[in-house]
């Protein structure tokens, strides 16, 4: 069974780029374009990992993550923050919401992000 990845990113071109790279690497991928859609996607899709942007319309990534962690079904989903907000500017609440990695998009290529996803998921399963 393919590992499932949810990409929650408001910039369509960026979401599609990561979707393409991850599908090419053998993942089942679905996208949402704001935090509210992302929360609904996570509940229905039950991803193994979420790539989550922070600054989005309707509901921010940190708000979405707080709601995800408060739900029984969302408490153990692996989450990678994928944003252009530096760690210093990130909401302090993220430290309490169990994030696997914090990636600043501008500092990593899509291939490097896929490698990080592989590493995180290999900690749990044999992909």
CATH of the domain at 74: 3.40.50.2300
Segments forming the whole domain that contains residue 85: 4-122
pLDDT at 92: 67
CA distance 45 to 37: 12
For the question of whether the overall pTM of this predicted structure is more than 0.85, the answer is yes
Residue 17, in any domain of the structure: yes
Tokens for 44, please give them: 């229905």
Residue 127, in any domain of the structure: no
Residues of the chain with pLDDT below 50 are 126-127
DSSP 125: S
Residue 88, in any domain of the structure: yes
For the chain, what is the domain count?
1
Residue 99, in any domain of the structure: yes
CA distance 18 to 42: 17
CA distance 22 to 17: 9
Residue that is written with structure tokens 């990636």 in the block: 103
Residue 113, in any domain of the structure: yes
Tokens for 107, please give them: 């500092």
pLDDT at 120: 92
The region, left, alpha or beta by phi > 0 then psi within -120 to 50, assigned to residue 46 is left
CA distance 26 to 80: 18
Who's near 124: CB < 8 A, 6+ residues apart?
Answer: 48, 78
Residue that is written with structure tokens 């374009």 in the block: 33
């Amino acid at each position: 069974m393919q590992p499932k990845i949810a990409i929650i990113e408001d910039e369509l071109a960026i979401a599609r780029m990561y979707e393409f790279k991850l599908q090419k690497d053998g993942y089942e991928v679905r996208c949402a374009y704001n935090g509210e859609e992302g929360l609904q996607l996570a509940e229905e899709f039950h991803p193994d990992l979420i790539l989550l942007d922070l600054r989005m319309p309707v509901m921010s990534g940190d708000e979405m993550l707080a709601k995800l962690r408060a739900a029984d079904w969302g408490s153990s989903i692996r989450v990678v923050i994928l944003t252009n907000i530096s760690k210093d500017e990130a909401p302090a609440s993220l430290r309490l919401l169990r994030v696997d990695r914090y990636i600043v998009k501008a500092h990593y290529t899509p291939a490097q992000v896929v490698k990080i996803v592989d590493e995180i998921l290999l900690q749990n399963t044999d992909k």
